[in-house]
Amino acid sequence: MKQRYLVIIVLVLLGSFAGQAQQDPQYTQYMYNTQIVNPAYSGSRDMLSFGLLLRTQWTGFEGAPETGTFTVNSPLGGTWDNMGLGLSIVRDEIGPSIESNVNIDYAYGINLSESSELRFGLKAGLDILDVDFSKLNIYQNEASFDPSNNIDNKLQPQIGAGVYYNTDKFYLGLSVPNFLTTSHFDESTLEDFDFDEDIAPAERLHYFLIAGYVFDLSDNLKFKPATLVKAVSGSPLAWDVSANFMLYEKFTVGAAYRWSSAISGMAGFQVTDSLFIGFAYDYTSTDIENFSDGSYEVFLRFDVFNKPERVLTPRFF
């Protein structure tokens, strides 16, 4: 009976009952983290670009999600300058489970005009799942825990695609990071615990729509609204909208709203031409806020310029 309750708890933590929860990590600074959800973004900045995002969600809530992402991308250059290549890594820890994925991102761009481009991207890699059931602390002593219940380095392939359109002031992207709907548990495990396949944890298709624009309010003030819409089969639509103001192309401050979920504050600083640092805080508007101190996020981006003119005409996304 304890083993049955054990699996029930893990199913909930993995957000999988009939697909009622969003499975992919969420980000407040999604406008700086586009490559994670859309491979077509790779190489669009016309420079070698590194990104690192760290997120602690619902601080003070035991077993709450902690997420880290790392990205690097660049145009290939030369005769392949219209192609981009990148690497994206995500590590997502929730309670007893750690899910990591490593993907290679490829993009091909078509210049529609001097200032607009349409890019097509592919993402391929591996998802790695580890679940340590002993962290649930439901056993009275270590002797009663059967380590064979654990999931160790379960590998599953990932294949995704996306399309991304951008000008100097506007961007719009549509993507599915993973087309494969694979199960976290195999059939024998489900049979052992007498569970139906309909409630088994499985990767479901996530559809992402991202868009943003840069308005010049004055020579030293820019307004940068952005939005992210995420749709998953069987789940409510997730919608983020944000508004950032950039002063002197150095300081960024703004706010964001996640529909029926959170209100956020954001700030960023362009430390040098190459280094940007961003911070975000989420105040959760659900009952979870009674048990946590909000969510925190920090983002670092480092650019290596291979075209000197890019320093004089910076990209804002």
pLDDT at 63: 78
- The winner for highest mean pLDDT among 1-10, 238-247, 306-315 is 238-247
The domain locations on the chain are 2-312
Number of H helices, E strands in the chain: 4, 15
- List, as one string, the DSSP characters of 191-247: HHTT--GGGS-B---EEEEEEEE-EEEETTEEEEEEEEEEEETTSPPEEEEEEEEEE
Higher-pLDDT residue of 64 and 201 is 64
Q: Which amino acid is at 139?
A: Y
Alpha helices in the chain (DSSP H): 2-13, 34-37, 187-192, 309-312
284: burial class by Cβ within 10 Å (0-12, 13-18, 19+)?
buried
End-to-end CA gap in the chain: 52
**Residue 48 host element (H or E):** strand 48-56
Average pLDDT over residues 34-42: 96
Q: What percent of the chain has pLDDT over 70?
A: 78
What's the number of CA atoms in the CB half-sphere (13 Å) around residue 144? 10
Task: Quote the CA–CA distance of 22 and 14 in Å, as a whole number.
Answer: 10
* Residues whose CB falls within 8 Å of the CB of residue 233, separated by 6 or more in sequence, listed in order: 19, 204, 205
Give me the sign of the Cα torsion angle 44, 214, 249, 216.
positive
Q: What's the mean pLDDT when you consider all of the chain?
A: 83
Q: Which fold is adopted by the domain 2-312? A: Porin (2.40.160)
Q: What's the pLDDT band for 16 if we cut at 50, 70, 90?
A: very low
Least confident of 36-45, 47-56, 62-71, 162-171: 62-71
- List, as one string, the DSSP characters of 124-141: EEEEEEEE-GGGG--SSS
pLDDT tens digits, one per residue of 143-200? 555 666 678 888 999 999 999 999 999 999 999 999 987 665 555 554 554 555 555 5
* Residues whose CB falls within 8 Å of the CB of residue 254, separated by 6 or more in sequence, listed in order: 224, 242, 243, 244, 245, 265, 266, 267
Task: Quote the CA–CA distance of 43 and 25 in Å, as a whole number.
Answer: 23
Q: What's the pLDDT band for 23 if we cut at 50, 70, 90?
A: low
Q: How far is CA 246 from CA 155, 172, 260, 311, in A?
A: 42, 20, 27, 17
Q: What's the pLDDT band for 37 if we cut at 50, 70, 90?
A: very high
Average pLDDT over residues 62-89: 92
137: burial class by Cβ within 10 Å (0-12, 13-18, 19+)?
exposed
Least confident of 38-42, 74-78, 185-189, 248-252: 185-189
- The winner for highest mean pLDDT among 4-18, 49-63, 196-210 is 49-63
**Residue 301 host element (H or E):** strand 295-304
* Residues whose CB falls within 8 Å of the CB of residue 101, separated by 6 or more in sequence, listed in order: 89, 90, 125, 126, 127, 128, 158
